[in-house]
Structure 1
Amino acid sequence: MLASSSSSPALATSPQDSALATRREVSVPVYEGSSLTTEFPQLVHLNVGGRKLMTTLATLQMDSDSMLGLMFSGKLPVLRDADGCFFIDRDGRQFHHILNYLRDGTLPIGLSRVDRLELLREADFYGLKALYSFIGGPTVQAAMMTGGGTGLWLRGLCHDLAKAEAADFSVNSRSHRVYARLRYGQEYSGDWIVSSPRNLPHVQYELYDACLARDPITALNKMGAAGFRPCVEPPTVPASTSCQNDDWEIMLYKDVWQ
């Protein structure tokens, strides 16, 4: 049995609250066995999409203008599940990053592209603008300067990425391996250049940026950023005192799916 209770701008008691309520109408589903409450203990047990966590009320109220700040200050209704935990109907996989940020400003590291997109979605929902801007990086920051960067823009980005992945998916998909060679040479203004083959897929003219590398480490880093891995890992790299000779070469590869 499911009912719905929605907040309205009338719940906001400050200009910031009013702006948040105007930007997003919060629909709180009321499930059988749960109840709405505006009373909170100092130690809060949470159920976020089925994941159980515990934190303090002060942490949840740290950003008073955020969704969590409004929910746990009594300005927006909050659900309790059958076990007495405060329930939030969101994906809980990234919620520990939200809590760590509220606790002491800790910013997440080591995020995969998928994790970053998921955390962006959650930070947007909870209205944590500073965290959202940081994890979104220059792409989001540039979009925000032109009126995008959140909400529909983020959903559109995720939709486009999912659509591109779906287009690449096929039961007949297969991969082939493309090889490239890093070697010392003087064809370009750099010393370490990329050759064999001449036209690498999805890469600007033989990784021209790598062709400007003055040393093998820089060239390897640039090739790695383009998705190429050394055939022998870790690669054998010449000493800095002997890297400028024709005896050294480093073979790399990249698996390309078709």
Structure 2
Amino acid sequence: MGAVDYARKLARSFVFYSICLVTYLTSVLVITLYVGLVFPVYLWNKPAVVKVTNWMFFTCFNLIGFVFNRSWKCVMLNDLPEDYKKKQRIYMFNHLSSSDPFLVTHIGMKLPLVCTYKDSLHKIPTTRLMMGLSGQLAIKFMYDKANDRKIPVRDSVGKLMKDCKDAMDQGFNLCVYPEGKRSRDGVLQEFKDGFFRFAVEHGVEIQPCAISNSAALWPLKSTFLIGSGLAYINIGKPISPEGKTVEQLKHATRKAIYDALRACPTFNPALETVPELED
């Protein structure tokens, strides 16, 4: 990396984090004040209030990522299904970069959307408050010494699934990354069973969504320095769990996301092809 290029990345990152700090703290204040003002309604009808704070939450991060920050751009290649306001679904995305949650805001501003996230984010001041008031759900992790990695706490997973069911009953959609972690090489990884089992048990449709080129916005190997570029979201057709096993539903969803990825202008066949998902 040349000195000039590095200086540009430093400047770009400084601007980005400054935007994050000011916009995020302002949003925390606005959301907290709003809940305080309508607190009697919050006690009587919490979902109604949370749907408003949920929209505020996604608007905040959309402002950070794509309005005030001029280094990132996102194009949605197609629209959500016509019945997206009437039918709750599990929105599943592939995971490439730390910029992915910012991209998801383009959907989160259109419908009530509950995202699952790692509880390690609670180390950031006010995050627990912001996430809680906007309806987001944390997954607790513990360190597995034997395998030298973090794994979800078993009791936390059970509670998470119950909370997800409650959220859907209250009119919220779910947002998950079935790969469980970011892809280090950009290739679509295997999917975890958890939310496919949830979908089969509760008869919930899955909405496959592909994210392409988000690694250009925030490279995986760059913890703090952000990049710049154009990312795409390609939305597939909803997949019904009816008549499918967990494995069948998982394969159908992975194939749908892969096909949506292939249709993105930034798909790189030399690097991103998954042979077993080719027709």
Same fold (TM over 0.5): no
Higher strand share: 1
Q: Which has the higher contact order (CA 8 A, sep 6+)?
A: 2
TM value normalised by structure 1: 0.23
Higher helix share: 2
TM value normalised by structure 2: 0.22
